[in-house]
Structure 1
Amino acid sequence: MAADPTWGIVSTVRGSAPDILRFVAYHLDLGVDRIYIFLDEPNPKAFDALNQHPKVVVRICDDRFWAFRQRERPEQHQTRQTANASFTYRKATEDWLAHIDVDEFLWPDRPIAEQLSEVPDHIPGVRVRPVESMAGGEDKFKAYIPSGADRDGIVQALYPNYGAFVLGGFFSHIQGKILVRTGLPKISLRIHNVFQGGEDLRIKTELPQVDLCHCHATDWEHWLAHYKFRLARGSYRPGMSPNVARDRGGMNMNELLSWIEAEGGTDGLRAFFDEMSGTDSGVRARLEQWGMILHRPLGLDEKLAKHFPGSL
């Protein structure tokens, strides 16, 4: 019997050392064979801990790093992410490589390597769909609602004030992330997609037994602290496609949130957050009634202590 394939993760990260180490520790505990971490800004505590682990390759993306890569540091962090992911893909020795973010955690029903061993050889990559954190710190996540004729109606029933403007009922992406088979020619990785020779491979095969637990908005303070960055340069930045077609009154998240803030200030933003995060009791009751609340106990602190004892 052939051995299960190996798999790795690549991520360009910024944030506190505990958050970075929790992300890495969680996936080490899951059985990843290698994690490639690019520190988007200097983080000595995280670097020192990661650099000592045999399954982690860590680099600091300073001026010397970009000079070695013979290019200027890209201005957008999304471009830095994809550049680092594509660079890693060309050198990775694992059979599969996942490109995910520091606030995303893979949650499989059974071992990922086992699931990857069942993917037909002609399939270049597989997609994992997100579930999105709810506020409250109870390890609860909103379920992904598959695309279909009834999704818009479901979302608007769950979220009566803002559901018509927010794709799939999520603050952030519903596309999910990709695990791509290594060794293919002319591959470049994006945030949610894979290109080969400049053409989108259009990864449609999914791993339905793996959730991508996206801790995008764990509480009001966390969401508000990240709001301005996301609005200017992150996942709510200008120029994104509208979440709903414009001929149906759709706006992208930048337009929606800017409108809410202009009309209602911080109170308006709080009302939006409470509805979309499930803080609102009516929303939470509807999610519960429809079976759309998932319990995903990530155990991040325990895994941090296990894999990086005494590191902080």
Structure 2
Amino acid sequence: MPEPKWGVVSTIKAPQRDVLGFAAYHLSQGAHRLYLYLDAPDPETYAILKAHPKIRVTQTDAPYWAKKGKHPNKHQPRQSINAADAYAKRIEVDWLTHIDHDEFLVWQTPLKNQLGALPSSCLCARIRPIEALEWHGPASDPRPFKGFALPMPERRRITEMLYPTFGSHVNGGFLSHVAGKMIYRTGIDGFSVKIHNAFLAGEQNPGQIELEQTRLCHLHGASWSDWSANYAYRKSKGAYRAELNAPFDQGKGGMNMHSLLTMIEADGGEQALRAFYDELCTPRADLLRGLEENGLLHWHRLDLEGAIAEQFPACA
């Protein structure tokens, strides 16, 4: 049986270097195809991506959205529509995953081997995230990421121990999602995908298996400057928007991230937000030690510039 081919679909609005780093990294990791949807006009980046034989790039311009019927105001439905568009294309890969430009796949056993070992009843597999801690070492060196325990009672106990001020309100000590992303089989009639889940005939995540040897390195809060620059957008339209549910204790005083951050900001402004970020994201010695003792400290080398030099030598 031939080794399964896998690919990535992503809706991207980011500086050119970030787009190229994301694309080059996953190509270097063995992606057979990338389906990239540029969420804003970027002719120069489009031309660079289009020239690569393993990339299928789409400018989501007015003609594109006219064919789709409308241009959604929120980026989440745009992501879902673009993921569906990629899924409906001529099949070039056996498995496809929808991830963002600040998410990077890493594994212990090659991904193609893991996918090849899954039973035919598994139509989708979940890849859990690990979240970047702030790091100022060389970009080509391994950097630290934090994980979280999967069983909720253990997760909450460890989180409150590692992050004593804010841990009781933050799921796993993560700034962003803990759900991770799905990788799913292609060519299935009626199969549909959202950002974190997949559906077939009314069933959510049919045959789901946890892909335990693969992780999604999420650079969501990779530095204070990056996190603070994206804070207002995420609070109004992104990961911290008001309509999202509380991670736990819903109806019993549990706060979602929007409410928590609003409270922190009201109490102490930017200084208080910095204290929140520092507790969750700075690699102080006690946090690194606590993560390691609980099997939640991960080190990974991404070397995006090296990948760019390999895949886009004219841009190196």
Instruction: Give the TM-score taking structure 2 as reference length.
Output: 0.94
Which of 274, 277, 292 lines up with 2:281 in the alignment? 277
Alpha-carbon contact 1:125-1:179 (below 8 Å) kept = yes
Task: Please list the CA deviations of residues 167-186 of structure 1 after superposition, one character each: whole Å capped at 9, or x if unmatched.
Answer: 11111111110011111121
Unaligned runs of 5+ in 2: 138-142
Do 2:122 and 2:206's aligned partners in 1 also have CA atoms closer than 8 Å?
no
**Secondary structure of the equivalent of 2:240?**
coil
Identity %, equivalent residues: 39
Query: Which stretches of structure 1, 4 residues or longer, exceed 6 Å deviation after superposition?
Result: none
The residue number in structure 2 matching 1:90 is 88
TM-score by length of 1: 0.95
Which structure 2 residues correspond to residues 63-142 of structure 1 after superposition, within 5 A? 63-69=62-68, 71-93=69-91, 94-138=93-137, 139-142=143-146
State whether residues 137 and 218 of structure 1, in contact with CA within 8 Å, keep that contact through their aligned partners in structure 2: no
The residue number in structure 2 matching 1:299 is: 303
Per the TM alignment, residue 119 of structure 1 is displaced from its structure 2 partner at its CA by: 0.5
- Structure 1 residue 45, shift from structure 2 partner: 2.7
Pairs within 5 Å for 1:1-312: 2-69=1-68, 71-93=69-91, 94-138=93-137, 139-201=143-205, 204-311=208-315
Distance across 1 between alignment mates of 2:183 and 2:220: 20
* CA deviation after TM superposition for structure 1 residue 281, in Å: 4.7
One-letter code of the match for 1:126? A
Equivalent AA in structure 2 for residue 58 of structure 1? V
TM-fit CA distance, 1:288: 3.9
The amino acid that maps onto 2:135 is G
Gaps of 5+ in 1: none
The one-letter code matched in structure 2 to 1:86 is A
Task: Decide whether the 8 Å contact of 2:122 with 2:208 is kept in 1.
Answer: no
CA shift digits 1:67-95 (9 cap, x unpaired): 133x1101110000000101111224111
2:144 partner letter: K
How far did residue 65 of structure 1 move? 1.2
| Alpha-carbon displacement from aligned partner over 1:130-179 (angstroms, at most 9, x marks no partner) | 01000124411002321243211111000001110001111111111001
**What is the CA-CA distance between 1:247 and the residue it aligns to?**
4.7
- What's the secondary structure of 1:123's corresponding residue? coil
Q: Report the 3-state secondary structure (helix = DSSP H, G, I; strand = E; otherwise coil) of the residue aligned with 1:164.
A: helix
Cα root mean square deviation, aligned: 1.5
- Give 1:246 deviation, angstroms: 3.4
State how far apart, in whole Å, the 1-side matches of 2:268 and 2:206 are. 40
Q: How many residues align?
A: 310
Contact 1:86 1:187 in 2 (8 A): no
Give yes or no for contact 1:10–1:37 (8 Å, CA) kept in 2. yes
SS of residue in 1 equivalent to 2:212: strand
